[in-house]
Structure 1
Amino acid sequence: MRIRVLLADDEKLILGALSALLAAEGDLEVVGEAAGGVKAAELAKKLVPDVCVLDLSMPDKGGISVIRDLQQARPSIRCVVVTSHTAPGYLASALSVGAWGFVPKTTSATELAVIIRKVHQGARYVDPEMAAKVISAGESPLTRRETDILALSSDGAPIDTVARRAVLSPGTVRNYLSRIAGKLKAANRHEAAHVARRQGWI
């Protein structure tokens, strides 16, 4: 039985090359390709592949958001995230939403084919170097909600904008950010975001 695979990457050259290389594997069938996360989610819901290989960062919808969508709509699909971002926080986020695999973009197509087979068989796979970075980064002192709010504010958006994103009042957001800065021993939310990003917590 062939393993049905859907690929999503906003870099079309990578998408095309990866599709051709994986299709050359006798037991893999590339049933769909998407150059963005929105299209990937739509195709996955329609085609219901065995495994989705998703780029972590896509302009319209990132791999983590796609996985979150599919966990609700098509929980049978197993997702592998490929990324050039090696901060431990990305790995933790991917695993927390249900990713089955997490690998760097330096992974060869042959290696990826092996990982796809493992995931299809029910085994999770995390790149060993990325796993080591998570261990060395230590545990974040922030709660999940604090982490979410810091991430929502990390682009420097005004408090009112962050409040709308978080569906909270501006005053509540200010309280959260003040508490976060205190926990991270940062002078302000911008410095707190820098600390958290450096540690891989967001």
Structure 2
Amino acid sequence: MAIKVVLAGDEALTREALTELLQLSGGIEVVAQTGWGDRVLGLLDDYQAELAVLDVRMPGMNGIEVAEHLHEERPGFPVVILSGYVRPGHLERAFKAGVRGILTKETSIRELSRVIRDVHAGGSHYPSELVAQLVAVGDNPLTAREVEILKAAEDGRPLSAIASQLHISPGTVRNHIHSAIYKLKVGNRISAVHAASRAGWI
């Protein structure tokens, strides 16, 4: 029986090419694909899929967030992250979300097929260079609220707008931003957002 896979990524051309190549590799059936992260869980249910291949960058919900939701709802469900944009913070969150396979888009279709089979069978695959980066960067020093606020601040909106969005006071937003700036050893909010983004923490 072929492994039923849902494939999610924001680039239609890449999704379609991967679908064709995976099907040709034998033993793998891409039963559904989507460009929106928030549609993945529904597709897994609709098609009774056995594994998800997720890009990190997607609208609606990114691949790491999808993996985190899956980990809460279906602990142990096999997930492979495939992306050209894997940062140490992504790897840290992926570990915590139970992701057992991580590949960059530099990989070959043969390698991707092998990792899908291995992860489906209970194995794991983590690129050594990414693990080394994670060790070098260290754990995410930010609290969940600081991450939430920095993510809301990515587009440069004023404190009052962030406070309104998150239903907290502007003073609370300011305090969390100051805390994040101190922890990240940067000079201002913009630098804090950039530093957290580069590390993959937001």
TM-score bucket of the superposed structures, by smaller chain: 0.7 to 0.9
Cα gap change, 1:47/1:13 in structure 2, threshold over 3 Å: closer, same or farther? same
**Residues 69, 45 of structure 1: CA spacing in aligned structure 2 closer, same or farther, 3 A cutoff?**
farther
In the alignment, structure 2 segments of 5+ residues that lack a partner are: none
Paired residue for 1:143? 143
Scaled by the length of structure 1, what TM-score is found?
0.87
Q: Which residue of 2 aligns with 1:191?
A: 191
Q: Which residue of 2 aligns with 1:48?
A: 48
Deviations 1:31-76 (A, max 9, x none): 1122322332321122231110011111233212322333344445
Q: Percent identity?
A: 39
Rounded to whole Å, the distance in 1 between the matches of 2:171 and 2:90 is 29
CA contact (8 A) 2:7 2:53 kept: yes
Unaligned runs of 5+ residues in structure 1 are: none
Q: Do the aligned partners of residues 48 and 73 (structure 1) sit closer, same or farther apart at CA in structure 2, a change above 3 Å counting?
A: farther
Report what 2:82 is aligned to.
82
Q: 1:61 to 1:121 in 2, by over 3 A?
A: same
Code of the residue aligned with 1:45 in structure 2: it is D
The corresponding residue for 2:34 is 34
2:128 pairs with 1:128: yes
- CA change 1:193–1:98 in 2 (3 A) is same
Counterparts of residues 39-188 of structure 1 (less than 5 Å)? 39-75=39-75, 77-188=77-188
Letter in 1 for 2:7: L
RMSD over equivalenced CA pairs, Å = 2.2
Deviation at 1:94, TM superposition (A): 2.6
Q: Distance in 2 between matches of 1:11 and 1:138?
A: 31
| Displaced runs of 4 or more, over 6 A | none
CA contact (8 A) 1:118 1:124 kept: yes
Task: Report how many residues are paired.
Answer: 202
**1:139 & 1:76 partners in 2: Cα distance?**
23
Cα 1:76–1:198 shift into 2, 3 Å: closer
